[in-house]
Amino acid sequence: MKPVSRRKFVQQSALVVASASLPFPFAMSTNKEVFVHQVYFWLKDPNSAADRAALRAGLEKLRAIPVITFSHIGTAAPTRREVIDSSYDFSLLCFFKNGPDQDVYQTHPIHLEFVDSCKHLWQRVVVYDAIGEGQE
Amino acid sequence: MKPVSRRKFVQQSALVVASASLPFPFAMSTNKEVFVHQVYFWLKDPNSAADRAALRAGLEKLRAIPVITFSHIGTAAPTRREVIDSSYDFSLLCFFKNGPDQDVYQTHPIHLEFVDSCKHLWQRVVVYDAIGEGQE
């Protein structure tokens, strides 16, 4: 076994850290451009446990789309202030590297299948797309 | 200098990677609870470059609040579909570990100062708070 000097160890460790950080865009000290795609869903029948489960299952499947760098599937937090809209049933937040990657997502077969199989569940969808810099 | 065996190097590298990943909640293979706080701002005078700069500067200052684990300051992307609301002027996305951390943010002096010094700039604010799991 070849011994590794302390300097070499530190250098190699830094490389390991750098490569471990690569998949996620924010594991860096400077700001990083992120395309934020936020979707809110209002169900036709929010009291139907089956409909809620079906939409959640559909949203979970979307996560397999490779251009998504981060996703969050949520429901309204219990916060209540005048400015807060907590009337929605599900939220989906997706991060993309840039606009072209978001375009790929929109026409990805998994996304098209999601819309096809779940659109009967919702009465309203609102989307906010934002471009800007993310920071840890 | 004490030589480091390959096994030791691998073990230590794993430790370095683990500790390097700690500050960010998503540098892990499993899902992680995240409180997502999304805010959209409509300026009173969206054509005023001074007002835009003042609001952006205020938003940037918020990033110093320690309970924020990730933030994104954005403007509307050029995407245009029927379901997309692109009428806002600025978006602010903040991640918190949980609801109590978001409560800390709301009453943090930097946040109170932001509201005090910037509220004259906006005509409308909409907030969506969502709890759920984030995934890389």
Q: Where do the domains of chain B lie? A: 28-134
CA A119 to chain centre: 20
Rounded Cα–Cα distance for residues A35 and A58 (Å): 22
| Residue A129 banded pLDDT, cuts 50, 70, 90 | very high
Measured in whole angstroms, the distance separating CA A35 from the mean position of its chain's CA atoms is 10
d(CA B94, CA B65): 10
| Candidate from B13, B128, B134 with C-beta closest to A12 | B13
Q: What pLDDT score was predicted for residue B27? A: 47
Nearest to A123 by CA among A18, A51, A58: A51
Contact across the interface for B72 and A129, Cβ inside 8 Å:
no
Task: Give A22-66 pLDDT, tens digit per residue.
Answer: 334 444 446 899 999 999 999 999 999 999 999 999 999 999 999
Residue B6 has a pLDDT of 55
Q: What is the pLDDT of residues A74-112, one digit of tens each?
A: 999 999 999 999 999 999 999 999 999 999 999 999 999
Looking at the structure, give the CATH architecture of the domain made up of residues A25-134.
2-Layer Sandwich (3.30)
Contact A114, A11 (CB under 8 A): no
pTM of the model: 0.80
Please give the helix or strand (H or E) that residue B90 lies within, else none: strand B90-96
ipTM of the shown complex: 0.80
* Cα A12 versus chain centre, distance: 32
Q: What is the pLDDT of residue B31?
A: 83
Pick the CATH number of B28-134 from 3.40.50.740, 3.40.50.720, 3.30.465.10, 3.30.70.100: 3.30.70.100
| Per-residue pLDDT at A24 | 44
Contacts of A23 in chain B (CB under 8 A): 136
Contacts of A91 in chain B (CB under 8 A): 36, 128, 130, 132
Q: What DSSP element (H or E) covers B73?
A: strand B70-76
Identify the residue with better confidence: B4 or B71.
B71
